[in-house]
């Protein structure tokens, strides 16, 4: 039996290096249900795989905590 997952790509401004990617990924990984996070500074895209849809306010808060801004979904 395969568990369904939800994949969402967010657009984030301000990331410029691998350290930025790690900061965003670290904050988002701490959210309940998150399985995988891939942040790409060059495109500003952050792809999150989770067990269920994430609350956008929680995603925004995590990205804000990392020092960046959520623009929306890509």
| Residues belonging to the chain | 74
- Which residue in the block uniquely carries the two structure tokens 């996070």? 37
- pLDDT 10s per residue in the chain (74 long)? 467 999 999 999 999 999 999 999 999 999 999 999 999 999 999 999 999 999 999 999 999 999 999 999 97
Model's pTM, two decimal places?
0.93
Query: Among candidates 4, 6, 7, 16, which has minimal Cα distance to 47?
Result: 7
Architecture of domain 6-73: 2-Layer Sandwich (3.30)
In the chain, domain spans:
6-73
Q: Specify the pLDDT at position 2.
A: 60
Q: Specify the pLDDT at position 3.
A: 74
């Amino acid at each position: 039996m395969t568990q369904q997952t939800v994949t969402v790509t967010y657009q984030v401004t301000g990331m410029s290096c691998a350290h930025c990617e790690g900061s965003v990924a670290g904050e988002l990984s701490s959210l309940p249900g998150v399985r995988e996070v891939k942040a790409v500074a060059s495109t500003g895209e952050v792809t999150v795989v989770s067990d269920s849809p994430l609350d956008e306010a929680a995603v925004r808060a995590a990205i804000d905590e990392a020092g960046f801004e959520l623009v929306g979904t890509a």
